[in-house]
Copies of this chain bind each other. A is one copy, B any other.
Amino acid sequence: MNISDVAARAGLPAKTIRYYEDIGLIKPLRDTNGYRAFRESDAHKLTFLGRARALGFTIENCRALLALWEDKSRASADVRAIAADHLNEIEVKIADLTAMRDTLTNLVHTCAGNSRPDCPILTSLGGTEGNG
Protein backbone atom coordinates (compact mmCIF):
# COMPACT_ATOMS: atom_id res chain seq x y z
CA MET A 1 0.00 0.00 0.00
CA ASN A 2 1.22 3.47 -0.87
CA ILE A 3 0.66 6.46 1.34
CA SER A 4 -2.45 7.72 -0.42
CA ASP A 5 -4.16 4.33 -0.08
CA VAL A 6 -3.53 4.11 3.61
CA ALA A 7 -4.43 7.77 4.01
CA ALA A 8 -7.83 7.08 2.45
CA ARG A 9 -8.35 4.06 4.65
CA ALA A 10 -7.39 5.77 7.88
CA GLY A 11 -9.01 9.06 6.98
CA LEU A 12 -5.80 10.97 7.62
CA PRO A 13 -3.85 13.33 5.35
CA ALA A 14 -0.65 11.91 3.88
CA LYS A 15 1.23 14.74 5.57
CA THR A 16 0.01 13.58 8.93
CA ILE A 17 1.07 10.03 8.23
CA ARG A 18 4.59 11.14 7.30
CA TYR A 19 4.66 13.14 10.49
CA TYR A 20 3.57 10.11 12.50
CA GLU A 21 6.40 8.17 10.99
CA ASP A 22 8.80 11.00 11.82
CA ILE A 23 7.90 10.89 15.48
CA GLY A 24 8.02 7.11 15.56
CA LEU A 25 4.36 6.20 15.88
CA ILE A 26 4.53 3.94 12.84
CA LYS A 27 7.40 2.32 11.01
CA PRO A 28 6.33 1.43 7.47
CA LEU A 29 8.68 -0.53 5.25
CA ARG A 30 10.24 0.95 2.13
CA ASP A 31 10.07 -0.22 -1.45
CA THR A 32 13.22 -0.25 -3.54
CA ASN A 33 12.09 3.03 -5.08
CA GLY A 34 12.01 4.70 -1.68
CA TYR A 35 8.22 4.77 -1.42
CA ARG A 36 6.71 3.85 1.93
CA ALA A 37 5.19 0.36 1.83
CA PHE A 38 2.39 0.11 4.37
CA ARG A 39 1.28 -3.26 5.72
CA GLU A 40 -2.17 -4.06 6.99
CA SER A 41 -0.89 -3.62 10.51
CA ASP A 42 0.25 -0.08 9.66
CA ALA A 43 -3.19 0.73 8.30
CA HIS A 44 -4.78 -0.59 11.49
CA LYS A 45 -2.47 1.47 13.63
CA LEU A 46 -3.24 4.59 11.64
CA THR A 47 -6.94 4.00 11.96
CA PHE A 48 -6.46 3.56 15.68
CA LEU A 49 -4.48 6.79 15.83
CA GLY A 50 -7.07 8.66 13.83
CA ARG A 51 -9.81 7.61 16.22
CA ALA A 52 -7.77 8.39 19.29
CA ARG A 53 -6.88 11.83 17.94
CA ALA A 54 -10.53 12.43 17.11
CA LEU A 55 -11.28 11.85 20.78
CA GLY A 56 -8.77 14.55 21.58
CA PHE A 57 -5.97 12.40 22.97
CA THR A 58 -2.57 14.03 22.67
CA ILE A 59 0.04 12.41 20.49
CA GLU A 60 1.87 11.19 23.58
CA ASN A 61 -1.28 9.63 24.93
CA CYS A 62 -1.84 8.04 21.56
CA ARG A 63 1.64 6.59 21.73
CA ALA A 64 0.90 5.12 25.13
CA LEU A 65 -2.48 3.78 24.05
CA LEU A 66 -0.98 2.23 20.96
CA ALA A 67 1.64 0.49 23.05
CA LEU A 68 -1.04 -0.88 25.34
CA TRP A 69 -3.09 -1.95 22.35
CA GLU A 70 -0.17 -4.00 21.12
CA ASP A 71 0.62 -5.40 24.53
CA LYS A 72 -1.56 -8.46 24.93
CA SER A 73 -0.71 -8.66 28.60
CA ARG A 74 -1.74 -5.11 29.40
CA ALA A 75 -3.93 -4.23 32.35
CA SER A 76 -7.12 -2.49 31.33
CA ALA A 77 -6.63 -0.25 34.36
CA ASP A 78 -3.72 1.41 32.57
CA VAL A 79 -5.86 2.19 29.58
CA ARG A 80 -8.67 3.47 31.71
CA ALA A 81 -6.34 5.71 33.69
CA ILE A 82 -5.21 7.47 30.53
CA ALA A 83 -8.75 7.86 29.31
CA ALA A 84 -9.98 9.09 32.68
CA ASP A 85 -7.22 11.71 32.88
CA HIS A 86 -8.06 12.89 29.44
CA LEU A 87 -11.72 13.01 30.32
CA ASN A 88 -10.88 15.26 33.25
CA GLU A 89 -8.97 17.62 31.04
CA ILE A 90 -11.84 17.77 28.62
CA GLU A 91 -14.23 18.56 31.42
CA VAL A 92 -12.00 21.38 32.57
CA LYS A 93 -11.91 22.76 29.05
CA ILE A 94 -15.66 22.53 28.76
CA ALA A 95 -16.03 24.37 32.04
CA ASP A 96 -13.67 27.13 30.90
CA LEU A 97 -15.39 27.49 27.57
CA THR A 98 -18.79 27.45 29.17
CA ALA A 99 -17.79 30.30 31.45
CA MET A 100 -16.56 32.25 28.46
CA ARG A 101 -19.72 31.47 26.57
CA ASP A 102 -21.93 32.68 29.41
CA THR A 103 -20.05 35.94 29.76
CA LEU A 104 -20.01 36.52 26.03
CA THR A 105 -23.66 35.65 25.66
CA ASN A 106 -24.56 38.29 28.21
CA LEU A 107 -22.37 40.87 26.59
CA VAL A 108 -23.62 40.19 23.11
CA HIS A 109 -27.21 40.37 24.30
CA THR A 110 -26.75 43.66 26.08
CA CYS A 111 -24.99 45.31 23.17
CA ALA A 112 -27.36 47.16 20.88
CA GLY A 113 -25.25 46.39 17.83
CA ASN A 114 -26.14 49.54 15.98
CA SER A 115 -24.28 52.49 14.50
CA ARG A 116 -23.75 54.26 17.80
CA PRO A 117 -20.53 53.84 19.79
CA ASP A 118 -21.96 52.86 23.20
CA CYS A 119 -20.94 49.29 23.76
CA PRO A 120 -21.15 47.28 26.98
CA ILE A 121 -18.68 44.77 25.51
CA LEU A 122 -15.95 47.38 25.31
CA THR A 123 -16.98 48.85 28.63
CA SER A 124 -16.63 45.48 30.23
CA LEU A 125 -13.24 44.83 28.68
CA GLY A 126 -12.02 48.34 29.36
CA GLY A 127 -12.14 48.22 33.14
CA THR A 128 -14.15 49.82 35.89
CA GLU A 129 -13.64 53.32 34.58
CA GLY A 130 -14.42 54.39 31.04
CA ASN A 131 -11.50 54.14 28.74
CA GLY A 132 -8.48 56.24 28.23
Chain A residues engaging chain B, CB cutoff 8 angstroms: 40-41, 44, 47-48, 51-52, 55-56, 65, 68-77, 79-81, 83-84, 86-87, 90-91, 93-94, 97-98, 100-101, 103-105, 107-108, 111-119, 121-122, 124-127, 131-132
Copies in the complex: 2
Inter-chain contact B112/A101, CB cutoff 8 Å: no
Minimum CB–CB distance for A62 against chain B, Å? 9
- Residues on the B chain within 8 Å of A105, using CB: 87
A113 to B68, CA, bound (A): 13
B126 touches A48 (CB 8 A): yes
Output the nearest chain B residue to A80 by Cβ-Cβ distance.
B113
